[in-house]
Amino acid sequence: MKFCSNCGTKLIEGAIFCPECGTKNSFAGNSASIEQSQSDASQTIPAEHQSYQPKPVPPPVMNQYSPVSFVVEEKEFLKMVRVELQNSAFRYESGGMYYMRGNLELEANLPSAGGFLKSMVTKESVVKPVIRGSGTVFMEPTFGEFTILELNGEEWILDKGAYYASEMSIEIGSFTNNAFSSLFSGEGFFQTRVSGQGKVVIISNGPLELVELKNEKFVVDGQIAVARTSGIVLSVAKAAKGIFSSMTSGEGIVNTFTGTGKIYIAPVANRYITLTSLLSNINHNVLSIRNKG
C-alpha cells in the first residue's frame, strides 16, 4: 500500500497523481522499471544456466539431381534413346553414348575388383559412365527394343545385358542365382539388380509383354524373360516327370518362375533382329562350306 508523499492520502494502485492534492506519485513507473531490470537480467544470465532450446530439425536432404527425361525415337528402322537433362545426371552402359550437346560432362569411375568379376558373368560393362549437366544426349542406335521402367521403391532383377541406362537415384547391384539354376536356366550365376525410385531403361530383342503372377507358376522354354520383380523366384525343372516322359514330350529343362509379382517377357524378336540373325546364319554356313572346299 502506498501513500502520497505530500498529503498522506492513500494512493490508488497504478495512479500517477494523488487524487487529493495532485502531487505526482513518486512510486509510479517503479513496477515498469522492475520488469525492465528483470528482462535485462535474464539477458545476462550465463548460457549454461538458461533453459535448453532445441535447434529446429533441418529438412530432409533431397536428391540433388532433377528428373531425367528418356524418350525412345525411331529413325530409319533403328531405335535410339534421347536423354534430356536440366541440371541433372544419368548413368548408362559403357559404349552407349552416340553424341551429346550442351553444358555436359562425362565421367567414369573404376569399380572394385568384385565388380570386374561380376561384369564377366552379367555381360554388362564393369564401368557405368555418368553424364552430368544440362543438354541433350543421344544414345547409340540399334535394332533392339527399349522399355522405360518407372520404379517406385521396388526391386527388379534384369536378364544378362538388359540394363541400358538409369537415373542416379537408382541403385545398381547384383543378384545371385542358386548354383543349379545358374547352370541350366541360361541366366548365369549373377544377374543385375536395380532398385529405388526413378527410371530405368532396358533393352531387349523384341517388344515386351507384362505377365503378372499372384502366387502362381509361370513356365517358359528358353530365355524370353527379360526382367522380374524380386518377389518372383527362378528355378529350373524337367518339363515332364521322369526321364522317359521328358524324352517323349520333346521338352527338356524349362525355366520356372513362381511367386507374386511381375515379369516382362520378349516372346519373339522383332523383324530386324530376326532378319539379322538369319543373314548371320547364312553367312556362317557359306563360310563353312567354303572352308571345307
Mean residue pLDDT across the chain: 78
Domains of the chain, residue spans: 1-46
Q: What is the pLDDT of residues 26-43, one digit of tens each?
A: 655 444 444 454 445 445
Span 188-234, pLDDT tens digits: 557 899 999 999 999 999 999 999 999 999 998 878 999 999 989 98
Residue located via cell numbers 549437366: 133
Which segment of 69-73, 137-141, 277-281 scores lowest on mean pLDDT?
277-281
pLDDT at 51 over 70: no
| Cβ atoms of residues 83 and 200 within 8 Å | no
For CA atoms 25, 30, 32, 36, the dihedral sign is positive
**Closest of 2, 50, 46 to residue 23, by C-alpha:** 2
Burial grade of 189 (CB within 10 A; 0-12, 13-18, 19 or more): middle
**pTM (two decimals):** 0.66
Residue 143 in this model has a pLDDT that exceeds 90: yes
